[in-house]
Structure 1
Amino acid sequence: MTSALQARARELMARYGHLEGVDLLRPLIETEFNGQLALVSSFGTESAILLHQVAQIDKDLPVLFVNTRKLFGETLRYRRMLVEKLRLTGVRELSPTKEAEDEHDKDGILWRSDNTACCDFRKVRVLDAGLAPFGAWITGRKRYQATTRIELPLFEAAEGRIKINPLAGFTRADVEAYLDRHDLPRHPLEEDGYLSIGCMPCTDRVAAGEDIRAGRWRGQEKTECGIHLPLPPATNLVGAS
């Protein structure tokens, strides 16, 4: 299965690697993965770009949003603003069940003792369940965001699906230019120094000259929540959508 998916990723790269933006996404949405594709969006600082592009093609495309119940209120309001502005009708909110929270993180402070387990419980497992019906998904990752992403391909095979990274080659200047050109609203926390926004307890402001993701899990070796890493063995902290 893995070798077949890798071959599929290479085939897609050969066929569509010269395209970008709506020209790239349209054949993937309408032909290659018709009914099998979802956009995963955090509704963070740079999320409006892909949401805007998708809205020009199919406003009903499934958009998976993981609400860990630890997000900034500003992120939830920003989501509502973008959904209304772009008239998106396929947004699906995924969260761990209340019953699972009561059993595994009743006090809501698992992040203090084991933030990796918290990410796995509240985000990784929840998204994996939400992606179950799909054969491919779109991410907003970019090479410039972190050293762990500098070799990010446009298409990749991972965890039994094709992952598409349409903005892999974008620079920070490209992001700013796109948002300005299309008059897209910024995340309300961006002007306060939050350049990469995740859950409230584990997100900090970014100082001038720092890596854009330096505010995530500040002072720790952790640099990824886990949704873009190989899925670890199941634990008893499995969430549900």
Structure 2
Amino acid sequence: MLAKPRPLDRIGNVDDGIAAKAAGLDALYGHLKPIEIIERSARELFLDEIAAVSSFGADSAVLLHMIAKIDRTLPVIFLDTGKHFEETLGYRDALAADFGLTNIRVIKPEEAALERIDPTGNLHQSNTDACCDVRKVEPLARGVAPFRAWLTGRKRFQAATRAALPVFEAVGPRIRINPLAHWTTSDQADYMRAHALRENPLVAYGYLSIGCFPCTQPVQPGEDARSGRWAGHAKTECGIHLSGLEKSLTDASL
């Protein structure tokens, strides 16, 4: 049984801003078990104003399985960039069926934006940041716009850039929740095994972090899970977890 929650609007003063509220939530609830964080967030803190965002990639099954235990109707946003592996699209449909998820929301890039910015579909070859902006950042900003918060499956072990990842964090005027932030690779593997969860088929071929097919390759032994993303480039994140999304959400709220 979860302890009685403190309403979100009582965490800090209204003038403290969303960053202070996120920090307050992290201090109060960041130590809870992942499924308790999900339950608290979905049933008490944000009610019908929360969604999940899933890539249906290498580590996605755990978060989605936990969500299904709490609320199978909770919106799950999937960014269909037009560049996914066929295996990922099949995995999305298979997991939704496995877990009985009934509210998968597929968000795509704006056709007009693609025609203007990436008419040949080859923008990733010359400007990966611009490609991610039009295919991921802008669509995600649209996808999460109706919600006050969203859940992700990000974890600290996935990359050095995520080593200090909090459970609750501010993104513009909204809050992003990372219930599995503190989990280790062993935690992930143990949960997958205990619940007999299916993996994305690409994991068997060494893809430990899975994004769009032109910019994803298998991970070499000893490398972190995200080293196969944009290999050979300084880029380590697509932008949906960086300042680009925050700016888009902030601009949209003005």
Segments of 5+ residues of structure 1 without an aligned counterpart are 236-241
Structure 2: runs of 5+ lacking an equivalent: 1-13, 249-254
Q: CA RMSD in A?
A: 1.7
Aligned: 1:56 with 2:69: yes
Alignment of 1:1-241 (within 5 A): 3-231=16-244
Distance 1:159 1:5 in 2: 8
Do 2:54 and 2:78's aligned partners in 1 also have CA atoms closer than 8 Å?
yes
Give how far 1:14 is off.
Answer: 3.1
Q: CA 1:103/1:41 → structure 2, altered by over 3 Å: closer, same or farther?
A: same
**Mean Cα displacement is larger for which, 206-215 or 226-235?**
226-235
Which residue of 1 is the match for residue 6 of structure 2? none
Q: 2:15 & 2:125 partners in 1: Cα distance?
A: 36
Shift of 1:182: 0.6
Instruction: Spell out, residue by residue over 1:15-56, the C-alpha distance to the aligned partner (whole angstroms, 9 max, x if none).
Output: 322311222211210110001111000000100011000000
Q: Which amino acid in the other structure matches residue 55 of structure 1?
A: A
Q: Deviations over 1:74-117 (max 9, x none)?
A: 00000000000001011100001333322321210000010110
Partner residue of 1:238?
Answer: none
Letter in 2 for 1:61: L
Q: SS where residue 234 of structure 2 aligns? A: coil
Q: Describe the SS at the equivalent of 2:176.
A: strand
SS at match of 1:56: helix
Paired with 2:115 and 2:214, the residues of 1 have a C-alpha distance of 19
> Are the counterparts in 2 of residues 74 and 189 from structure 1 also a CA contact under 8 Å?
yes
Q: Identity over aligned residues, as a percent?
A: 49
Secondary structure at 1:101's aligned position in 2?
Answer: helix
Instruction: Pick which of 104-113 and 217-226 moved more.
Output: 104-113
CA distance in 2 between counterparts of 1:53 and 1:234 reads 30
Query: How far, CA to CA, are the matches of 1:33 and 1:175 in structure 2?
Result: 26
Higher helix content, 1 or 2: 2
TM-score by length of 1: 0.93
Q: Which amino acid aligns with 2:103?
A: G
Contact 1:159 1:231 survives alignment (8 Å): no
Aligned positions, number: 235
